[in-house]
Structure 1
Amino acid sequence: MSELQSAEAVVLVGGKGTRLRPLTLSAPKPMLPTAGVPFLTHLLSRIREVGITHVVLGTSYKAEVFQEHFGDGSALGLELEYVVEEVPLDTAGAIRNVAHKLRERDVMVFNGDILSGVDLRAVLDTHRESAADVTLHLVKVEDPRRFGCVPTDADGRVTAFLEKTENPPTDQINAGCYVFRREVVEAIPTGRPVSVERETFPGLLASGARLQGHVDTSYWLDLGTPAAFVQGSADLVRGVAPSAALPAAVGDAIVLPGANVDPGAVLTGGTTVGAGCTVAAGAVVDGSVLFDGAVIGEGARVERSAVGANALVQAGSVVSDAVIGDNAVIGARCELIGGARVWPGVVLPEAGVRFSTDA
């Protein structure tokens, strides 16, 4: 009998992933192929690994994609249920929207675009040992100025929720993983957008509720941008970030079945080569994600980039810190660097985009 038997999970996967376009034009962000499987698979596998089996997905954008892929969850040893958010309800509203599916005392809530190495069992232990109403995973980061900060007292109780500031009083930030007592979820207002950060948590603090922090320095990454998405995938492949769902052993690269990689090509840095891809002789693919069916031509170089399904990067091209949409064609000897994004189906002619003059 699992010690987490009286806990269940909610995963919020409703966002449109606009910062990740054009990758998210064809799939919701949590379903993007990450180290060989949809990103959400990694999170669900970690939830299952600690003994939680009932998971409710709060969906919205392209909601049908989740159910089509995961079904009832039995393939992962889970019981999955789905609740579609018809209008945007913000973070707390989305949690309240799934309350009718909940049945356990403690509810672990996850943002579906966070890659984390936190010990989930330890978070739940902190929640129960402190008899908290809500427990927040707080991660220490080197530069907290980009985030809202969450200070705690000597007993680990949360004392405030602070907006982004140039001089943050603490290096602890909200890591997007919580444990709620179910009554707290049921007390969130219905029928309108509600934010956990701006309304629910400050309101609980003001009412004297116990909000507990579980503070650690574990691996943590918000996969909201193309650079972070590519980094997260590479970190999973290399074993820097934990997962129970990798389709192959950790290492420099994962090559999925049906891919054709020439012996003269170099794969490194946690690269993923999707099913049916082709990587030609002399090509170098470093720390990148090749979606299914992508083709990398002779001598091409792809670094820290995502190349969409069935896209073609022709001979001698350089794709660095860039995103190539599905079915796009990057002509020979093009150079795409520094955040370039090519939309699906776009065709760039030979040497049509360059940053250097030696065409």
Structure 2
Amino acid sequence: MTGGDVDTVGIILAGGRGERAKPITLESADYIRSKALIPFAGRRLIEWVIDACREQGIRRFYVVAQGLENRSQIKLLLGHGERYGVDVRYSRSSFDRYNVGSGAATLHNLEQWDLTGSALVLPVDSIFDFSLAELQTTHRTTGAVVTVAAVARTPVEVSGKYGAMTTDAEGRVTGFVEKPDLARVHEVFPDAMGDTGALIPTNAGMYLIDCGRLRALAREPKLMRQAQQRLDWGGELLPWLVCHGHTVASHHIARLGDLGNVEDYLVTLRNVLAGDYPQMNQLMPAPHSDKPRFWVHESSLVTRDDVTGTTLADKIADGSVRIGPGVRIGRHVTIGNDVRLEYADIGDGVEVREGATLVGTSLGDSAVVGPYADIKDSYVGPMVEIRSERAQPVRLDSYSAVGDGAYLWPGTRLSGVSVYPRLKVPAIANLPSGTRLTSSDDILRWV
């Protein structure tokens, strides 16, 4: 990793409610887990953010939190940064009422912290592959007040999902198009049409800012009034800066992994486990094996299952457990015979019974997967019990998500369905993709 200037600080926007990522962000139907604490590849998201930035020279972090639970959850994990070799400060609770949008939260807290140098502003629900030093070079050479980290995408990828930017030859942003449909993409970016068309720069949600200049601009009456009502970075603050003639630059970074919803979470997890994020590769421990690439904690290698009495190491050696590429197995995991694993992230204390198949899947700590379950492209939260049986296997696919402590009866089949925490789901099938089971009443409608 390439280090940046030592005087750059990190500002982590961690106050969002994570609505799109439910049920991953729920510990119960009415208790929201901070997005910062979403489990990902054996750690919490904010820990990956801190480590990635620390490796590039950032040693001071300012966390914009929101409300009692969000703030206390993050502080309980990070403290003041001692475990991570950094210094961490938090926004004051009295400022919560001013945090009306990501842009407003940034501007108000720049004043609170009296920051005047450069700062890297980044969300807590994404992972990035980037060079801070290169981002700083673009920032200096363009004289920008804000430099936007950009990811190049195809028109289809942009359509309805990402904010796109128009730029001049020097990389200065000339305009923004917020989540355009495909027709609008082709209208604004005609060079991107066709199989060989140019890629479109999209806003990755990470910004290198000049704190002093941005604070001065925030005192302009019109922007000040907007920041008291609603001011997001992508939809309002950046367009305001460009419209008023202030330099906003664009700098392409290697990669962005969005974790804001279940599908994006699982796609990003698969890519990380596949080794597609070089910075994450350096932060993760060395794999147990490179061909295929997988990680197994040593405590799990010696754990015996209660049916055969053999260890996971024995099963890997004799082929009775098939581990494909992109598998991470945490501590004290029990795995039975004839289990197939591929692009699977398995938390601590998990039990996977004989005959189960897990592909493109995340299993939270202490989840139990019964015999012959077939789970593909799905999220299974901590303490979930999947009561699969050989005669009545449970099947999950198409970005289904099962919240913490839920219970699935034998024969349940879910495709693109979300189950909220602690629900007991009977043997149901054929629910429309996109269905959310949020309560017992929801379940009764389909039984």
CA contact (8 A) 1:127 1:212 kept: yes
SS at match of 1:98: helix
More helix by share: 2
CA contact (8 A) 1:106 1:182 kept: yes
Larger radius of gyration: 2
Q: Determine the C-alpha separation between the residues in 2 that align with 1:317 and 1:79.
A: 46
Deviation at 1:120, TM superposition (A): 2.5
Q: TM-score, normalised by structure 1?
A: 0.91
Q: Structure 1 regions of 5+ residues with no counterpart?
A: none
Q: TM-score, normalised by structure 2?
A: 0.74
Which residue among 339, 349, 354 is the counterpart of 1:265? 339
> Partner letter of residue 318 of structure 1?
R
Which residue among 252, 261, 269 is the counterpart of 1:215? 252
SS at match of 1:160: strand
Distance 1:196 1:104, change over 3 A: same
1:86 aligns with 2:164: no
Q: Percent identity?
A: 23
Deviation track 1:28-52 (CA, whole Å, cap 9, x = no partner) reads: 2221111111112212111011011
SS at match of 1:23: coil
Q: Determine the C-alpha separation between the residues in 1 that align with 2:132 and 2:377.
A: 30
> Partner letter of residue 274 of structure 1?
G
Deviation at 1:121, TM superposition (A): 2.3
CA contact (8 A) 2:266 2:362 kept: yes
> Partner letter of residue 423 of structure 2?
V
Q: What's 2:173 paired with?
A: 158
Distance 1:183 1:150, change over 3 A: same
CA contact (8 A) 1:35 1:234 kept: no
Residue-pair matches, total: 350
1:145 aligns with 2:163: no
| 1:1-359 correspondence to structure 2 within 5 Å | 3-26=4-27, 27-60=33-66, 62-83=70-91, 84=93, 86-87=96-97, 88-99=99-110, 100-103=112-115, 105-142=117-154, 143=156, 144-146=158-160, 147-163=162-178, 164-165=180-181, 166-168=183-185, 169-170=188-189, 171-186=200-215, 187-188=217-218, 189=224, 191-216=228-253, 218-241=254-277, 242-243=279-280, 244-246=282-284, 249=287, 251=294, 252-269=326-343, 271-315=344-388, 316-320=393-397, 321-337=399-415, 339-349=416-426, 351-353=427-429
Q: Determine the C-alpha separation between the residues in 2 that align with 1:59 and 1:3.
A: 25
Q: Determine the C-alpha separation between the residues in 2 that align with 1:200 and 1:138.
A: 16
Deviation at 1:235, TM superposition (A): 2.0
Deviation at 1:184, TM superposition (A): 3.4
Q: Structure 2 regions of 5+ residues with no counterpart?
A: 28-32, 190-199, 219-223, 288-292, 295-325, 432-447
> Partner letter of residue 145 of structure 1?
S
Deviation at 1:25, TM superposition (A): 1.8
> Partner letter of residue 418 of structure 2?
R
Deviation at 1:354, TM superposition (A): 5.0
Distance 1:262 1:121, change over 3 A: farther
